[in-house]
Amino acid sequence: MAQAGEGSGGTLDERLERIEAAFEAGERDLRALGFWKLVADVKRDPVAAEPLGARIARIDRVAFERAVRLRFPVWFGNVVLVFGVLVGAAGVVVAMRSENDLVAGLALIVAAVAWSTAVHGLAHWAVGRAVGIGFTSYFFAPGELPPRPGIKTDYATYLRAAPAERAAMHAAGAIATKIAPFVTLALWPFTQAPAWAAWLVLGIGVFEIATDVLVSTKTGDWSKVRRERAIARATAGR
């Protein structure tokens, strides 16, 4: 049986039982219930992930589905995002072949935006599946600006993955999004797009990096990478 973390008030199983009872009784604030503190303790006790993971995943999924209404099956989201990648490729082809500067420039910008948006979720999914992490849905978080499709992990499989593997999954989407505008920019010399389009694509890339520095390191993918790497260091050698 998994042991209690410091100051946890019982074993991990006992704490989860109390949280489950309160959640079933109508309590919705998972942080106030100590749910996320429990999850952090389970991550530091890999033996506990197997017996407790499915129960933790159920609470996480129910809470997520209550909070996020705009959800789509994973297969559907992947199809749409692959289509987005193809739109980006088509944009580059138009930029290469069009003799109209405005059309070529706009096509190059469309390619950068399409690739930057589409590869994010696909990279999360591809790396996640490679390390055994499953996913339940794509979604749009309420109030997020600009809107970007997210992908929801299946928490049982997420907990079974090693911390370094979880970190790699989180990092994959962030890295792919940042690379996409610069891949587009690297193709610019082979297109008919004017210089202003290249500058705008560069601006998209710089904006993505600035967003990461100002936001993602605090609440987004990079904050999760830092969290999982810290857990990896704390559990090294166990």
Ordered by start, the domain boundaries in the chain are 12-67, 71-235
Q: For the chain, how big is the Rg over CA atoms in Å?
A: 21
Quick one: average pLDDT of 68-80? 95
pLDDT number for residue 176: 95
For the entire predicted model, the pTM comes to: 0.88
123-147 burial, b at 16+ Cβ within 10 Å, e below that, comes to: bbbebbeebebbbbbbbeeeeeeee
Q: How confident is the model at residue 236 (pLDDT cuts 50, 70, 90)?
A: confident
Name the token pair of 75. Answer: 């297969």
pLDDT number for residue 237: 61
72's CB contacts (< 8 A; 6+ apart) are 80, 137, 138, 139
Give the end-to-end CA distance of the chain in Å, rounded to a whole number: 17
- Please give the mean pLDDT across all residues of the chain: 90
Q: Give the CA count within 13 Å in the CB-facing half-sphere of 122.
A: 18
- Identify the weakest region by mean pLDDT among 2-11, 78-87, 116-125, 198-207: 2-11
Q: How confident is the model at residue 143 (pLDDT cuts 50, 70, 90)?
A: low
Q: Are 229 and 164 in contact (CB under 8 A)?
A: yes
Q: Are 135 and 125 in contact (CB under 8 A)?
A: yes
Q: Is the pLDDT of residue 219 over 80?
A: no
Quick one: average pLDDT of 191-200? 97
Q: Is the pLDDT of residue 3 over 60?
A: no
